[in-house]
Amino acid sequence: MWSLGFLVPHAPILVPQVASLSRASCGKTVSAFRSVGRSLKGIRPDFLLVLDPHASTGSSFTIIHAEKFTGNLAEFGARTASAVVEGAGEEGKALSLHLNSIFPVLEHREKVFSLDYAAVVSLVFLQLALGYIPPMILANPVTLSYKQSFDLGCHLRTFSSKTGWALLASGDLSHCLNDEGPGGYHPDAEVLDRTILESLEMSSPFPVFSLPAVTIQNAGECGLRSALCLIGLSGGSGIEVLSYEAPFGVGYATALWKGGMS
């Protein structure tokens, strides 16, 4: 059973330990996770699937199993912002087997897997919301098409388990919202972010799927596949957009789906 799904931005500057070093102001995301934590009391998922569009997983959709996942933000001056998470073990293998029966999946196994900054940032926010991090498996959705990413969420929804699962869908939105953005400014960035938020609020992929491919390309997104997977998992039931901000030319959206309460 899927009890929760999160869309989580993953820029290190959002993490308070990193933001304090540059006196940056991006508090909407942090405030959103602090507030959502109060509303999730009593909801404690047993296992976690992390979608990380920056993870090194090869050229095909791959689920990473490890005995332990570990990483920190030392490269950004914040070693104390870190995550050490147990692997999901047999339950993670069961989810992989379920997906592989209807969706091409490769599996990669390591004793200890080093998390990149995007996963660490997302897990730090999850810790803020839940107070703990469940045992996890990890996958990178970027080898999937946008339609396949939505389908992945639909397939996840059909996984039958006596344990509780949560989806941590990591990803930033457009990277071209102003001249400070990594891709410079393009007007299509605002169009894409507005449309992604609409799709999340409707729990429907159709606003995004109605956009021309060139609009999505011009916006320079990295988290659209993660968002579409969350929408697929929701099955059309309520996703709540908790916050949106874009202080550095990149769109940061946080959203929550309470599966067990839908």
Spans of all domains in the chain: 2-261
Q: How far apart are the first and last CA of the chain?
A: 12
Rounded to 10°, the helix 224-234/146-157 angle is: 30
Average pLDDT, the chain: 94
Beta strands 2-8 and 165-170, pairing class: parallel
- Look at domain 2-261 and name its CATH class: alpha beta
Say which residues have a Cβ less than 8 Å from residue 260's Cβ, sequence separation at least 6: 1, 2, 3, 4, 43, 164
The answer to whether 92 touches 47, Cβ cutoff 8 Å, is yes
Query: Could you report the per-residue pLDDT of 16-41, keeping only the tens digit for each?
Result: 889 888 766 667 888 888 888 777 87
Confidence of residue 252 (pLDDT cuts 50, 70, 90): very high
For residue range 118-165, list pLDDT tens digits in order. 999 999 999 989 999 999 999 999 999 999 999 999 999 999 999 999
As a whole number of angstroms, the distance between CA 197 and CA 243 comes to 10
